């Protein structure tokens, strides 16, 4: 079975441009998470989706960051007016809503470089 996929794998952009990062979760996984991994901040949570709704957006660092999920499947993370500090690897993870053993499976990540 396919795992979590993300695209693009690498993205280089100029400061001030908008970027969209895509995540395809494992089929049937209703929970979806975005994380960011950077040298300065380590691995940090950004946003959580259950189905198409996002009950926890507490990790989004600024209003330049937004995300949506459609059809309970694909999610897009959008960063507007990118800044150099946005350079990081953006990881997506999905899981089943099983309280007892809620393992998250991670995608390969998108490496974003803002010049």
Partner 1 sequence: ELKVEQNPLFLSMQEGKNYTIYCNYSTTSDRLYWYRQDPGKSLESLFVLLSNGAVKQEGRLMASLDTKARLSTLHITAAVHDLSATYFCAVVGGATNKLIFGTGTLLAVQP
Binding site for partner 1 (CB under 8 A): 31, 33, 35, 42-45, 48, 50, 55-56, 59, 91, 93, 95, 100-109
* CB 53, min distance to partner 1, A: 11
Closer residue to partner 1 in complex, CB, 45/80: 45
The CA distance from 21 to 78, in Å, is 6
* 95-103 contacts at long range (C-beta below 8 A, 24 or more positions apart): 95/29, 95/31, 95/33, 96/28, 96/29, 96/30, 96/31, 97/30, 97/31, 97/50, 102/31
Q: How far is the CB of 90 from partner 1 (least distance, A)?
A: 11
Nearer to partner 1, 83 or 102 (CB): 102
Nearer Cβ to partner 1 (20/106):
106
């Amino acid at each position: 079975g396919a795992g979590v996929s993300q695209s693009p794998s690498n993205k280089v952009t100029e400061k001030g441009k908008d970027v969209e990062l895509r995540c395809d979760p494992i089929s049937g996984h209703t929970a979806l998470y975005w994380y960011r991994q950077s040298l300065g901040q380590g691995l940090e949570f950004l946003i959580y989706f259950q189905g198409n709704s996002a009950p926890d957006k507490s990790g989004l660092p600024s209003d330049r960051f937004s995300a949506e999920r459609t059809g309970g499947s694909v999610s897009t993370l959008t960063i507007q007016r990118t800044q150099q500090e946005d350079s990081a690897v953006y990881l997506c993870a999905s899981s089943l809503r099983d309280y007892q053993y809620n393992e998250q499976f991670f995608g390969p990540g998108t490496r974003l470089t803002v010049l």
